[in-house]
Amino acid sequence: MMNKPSIFLNLLDDFLNNYLPCSVGVSPNTAISYKYAFRILIEFMYSVKGIPADKIIFDNLDYNTLLEFFSWIEKDRGCSIATKNQRLSAILSFSAYAQNRDLAAASIFRTSVKNSNEKRTNETSCCFYYPRSFYLTSIT
């Protein structure tokens, strides 16, 4: 017998597959990046918290869990602060979407995400275009 998807998964599916590409019109690369951010969050919830994807509810995604998640992607997965901030941006965008669709379920989640502060990186990356190729340089 197949489990019924949670409200979280239903809203996430609609956000990633309908809202972002159709209503917002994000680029395919942005959509892929957002999907990956949630794939990593779901992996964290399963491997660290022991909660399978179909059992994730918004109440599971409180402030402390999100702090653990962001710490986990930095320390255990070796992601940069910029990558962590990109994941935060994807989750923040989804939290606004979810709160507008199901206020009761997503309000604690939204508040938790909004309180997860973005870290500043020490570097600024600039991309310079030259006619034959692209060069990425870091300016410190």
Query: Is 66 within the bounds of a domain?
Result: yes
Query: Is 40 within the bounds of a domain?
Result: yes
102 near 113, Cβ under 8 Å?
no
One-letter amino acid of 4: K
Query: Is 85 within the bounds of a domain?
Result: yes
In SS3 terms, 34-75 reads as: HHHHHHHHHHHHHHCCCCCHHHCCHHHCCHHHHHHHHHHHHH
Query: Is 1 within the bounds of a domain?
Result: no
- Rounded Cα distance between 114 and 92, Å, is 7
CA 106 to chain centre: 15
How many domains does one find in the chain? 1
Angle at alpha carbon of residue 77, lines to 41 and 11, rounded to 5°: 10
Instruction: Specify the pLDDT at position 128.
Output: 44
Q: Tell me phi and psi for residue 98, to 5 degrees.
A: -65, -40
Read off the pLDDT of residues 85-120 as tens digits, 9 standing for 90 and up: 999 999 999 999 998 888 877 777 888 787 776 555
pTM: 0.76
Query: Is 32 within the bounds of a domain?
Result: yes
Range of the domain at 58: 7-139
Taking residues 113-137, report their average pLDDT.
Answer: 53
Read off the pLDDT of residues 36-79 as tens digits, 9 standing for 90 and up: 999 999 999 999 999 999 999 999 999 999 999 999 999 999 99
Using pLDDT thresholds of 50, 70 and 90, give the confidence band for residue 3: low
Q: Which of 64, 50, 51 is nearest to 8 (CA)?
A: 51
- Rounded Cα distance between 45 and 56, Å, is 8
Query: Is 2 within the bounds of a domain?
Result: no
pLDDT exceeds cutoff 90 at 2: no
